[in-house]
Amino acid sequence: MNIISKILNLTPELLVYDFDGVMTDNRVLVFQDGTEAVFVNRADGWAVAQLRKTGFRQIILSTETNQVVSARAKKLQIEVLQGCKDKAQELVSFCQSNEIDLMKVLYIGNDVNDLDAMRLVGFPMAPADAHPKILKMAKHILRACGGEGVIKELSEWLLKETDKNF
């Protein structure tokens, strides 16, 4: 069974993205005044919009409490849960509150703080440059590295295989 068949059998009700290392290349710019900035990929932004238009629910789940995460989520028009000390518990609470089956969640994470949450979902995925423990447990490893079109790659598969148009 190929990756697309696995995704379709999952019928994702929720797409969950870690922020740093998935939507970014895991680097941060720190300015003299302490403010931070990151680089994001515009193709990922476009992909989030296409997925939203075709009915895929999406959230960002981040341990960071940072305005840059909030600003990106606002621009993308998706929910963000940030400052999560325990991503697994936050994800369980979110899914229970929204009546979403964890087995119908697709989660893209890149580092060890994603492990417990990724173990709970039906389809854990990882960018190509994820931590070795994440790569080992992911059901699929994307070709893209963090910040280099991870969500764009995912969206192309989901939209093509579900006959939804760009």
- For residue 72, the model assigns a pLDDT of 95
Exposed, middle or buried, 143 (CB in 10 Å: 0-12/13-18/19+)? exposed
- For residue 166, the model assigns a pLDDT of 47
- E-strand spans in the chain? 14-17, 29-30, 36-37, 58-62, 79-82, 105-108, 123-126, 140-141
- E-strand spans in 31-146? 36-37, 58-62, 79-82, 105-108, 123-126, 140-141
Fold of 3-161: Rossmann fold (3.40.50)
Q: Would you write out the chain's pLDDT as a tens digit for each of its 166 residues?
A: 455 555 556 568 999 999 999 999 999 999 999 988 999 999 999 999 999 998 999 999 999 888 899 999 999 999 999 999 999 999 999 999 999 999 999 999 999 999 999 999 999 999 999 999 999 999 999 999 999 999 999 999 887 766 665 4
Q: Residue ranges per domain, the chain?
A: 3-161
Q: How far apart are CA 51 and CA 38, in angstroms?
A: 23
Phi-psi region of 64 (alpha: psi -120 to 50; beta: other; left: phi over 0): beta
36-37 vs 29-30, strand pairing mode: antiparallel
- For residue 64, the model assigns a pLDDT of 86
- For residue 65, the model assigns a pLDDT of 87
29-30 vs 14-17, strand pairing mode: unpaired
- For residue 1, the model assigns a pLDDT of 43
